[in-house]
Amino acid sequence: MSRLQAEHLYKVFGRRPDGAVEKLRHGADREELRAEGTTAAVIDASFTVEPGQIFVVMGLSGSGKSTLLRMLNGLSEPTAGQVLFDGQDLTKLSARELREVRSKKISMVFQHFALFPHRSVLENAAYGLEVQGLPRVEREKRATEALELAGLKGWEKSWPDELSGGMQQRVGLARALATDADLLLMDESFSALDPLIRRDMQDQLLELQKRLKKTIVFITHDLNEAMRLGDQIAVMRDGRIVQIGTSEDILVTPANDYVASFTQDVDRSRVLTAGAIMADPPEGFDMTAAPATVTADSPIIELFTPCSTSDVAVAVTDEKGALIGVVPRGRLLAVLGEPAPREEGPQDAAVPAQQAKDNGGKSVGKVSSGA
Ligand X SMILES: Nc1ncnc2c1ncn2[C@@H]1O[C@H](COP(=O)(O)OP(=O)(O)OP(=O)(O)O)[C@@H](O)[C@H]1O
Binding site for ligand X (CB under 6 A): 13, 39, 41, 59, 61-67, 111, 221
Nearer to ligand X, 59 or 172 (CB): 59
Nearer to ligand X, 234 or 272 (CB): 234
Residue 221 binds which of ligand X, Mg ion, none (CB < 5-8 A, kind-dependent) = ligand X
CB of 43 to ligand X, least distance (A): 11
DSSP string, 4-42: EEEEEEEEEEES-HHHHHHHHHTT--HHHHHTTTEEEEE
The SS3 of residue 184 is strand
CA distance 248 to 285: 26
Strand pairing partners for 185? 108, 217
CB of 61 to Mg ion, least distance (A): 7
The SS3 of residue 109 is strand
CB of 259 to ligand X, least distance (A): 16
Q: Residue 168 CA to chain centroid, in angstroms?
A: 22
- Segment near Mg ion (CB under 5 A); pick from 26-34, 44-52, 58-66, 326-334: 58-66
Nearer to ligand X, 36 or 280 (CB): 36
Nearer to ligand X, 149 or 186 (CB): 186
CB of 291 to Mg ion, least distance (A): 47
CA distance 173 to 110: 10
CA distance 282 to 17: 56
The SS3 of residue 177 is helix
Nearer to Mg ion, 66 or 256 (CB): 66
CB of 64 to Mg ion, least distance (A): 8
Nearer to Mg ion, 58 or 332 (CB): 58
Burial 258-294 (b: 16+ CB within 10 A, else e): ebbebbeebebbbbbbbbbbbeebeeeeeeeebbbbb
Residue 41 binds which of Mg ion, ligand X, none (CB < 5-8 A, kind-dependent) = ligand X
Residue 142, class by beta-carbon neighbours within 10 Å (0-12 exposed, 13-18 middle, 19+ buried)? buried
- Segment near Mg ion (CB under 5 A); pick from 59-67, 99-107, 135-143, 157-165: 59-67
- Residue facing Mg ion at closest CB distance: 66
CB of 307 to ligand X, least distance (A): 40
Nearer to ligand X, 13 or 159 (CB): 13
Q: Give backbone dihedrals phi and psi of 148, rounded to 5 degrees, phi first.
A: -65, -45
CB of 237 to ligand X, least distance (A): 10
Pattern 62-81, Mg ion, x by CB under 5 A = ----x---------------
User: Per this entry, what is the length of the chain?
Assistant: 371
Q: State the residues that interact with Mg ion by CB under 5 A.
A: 66
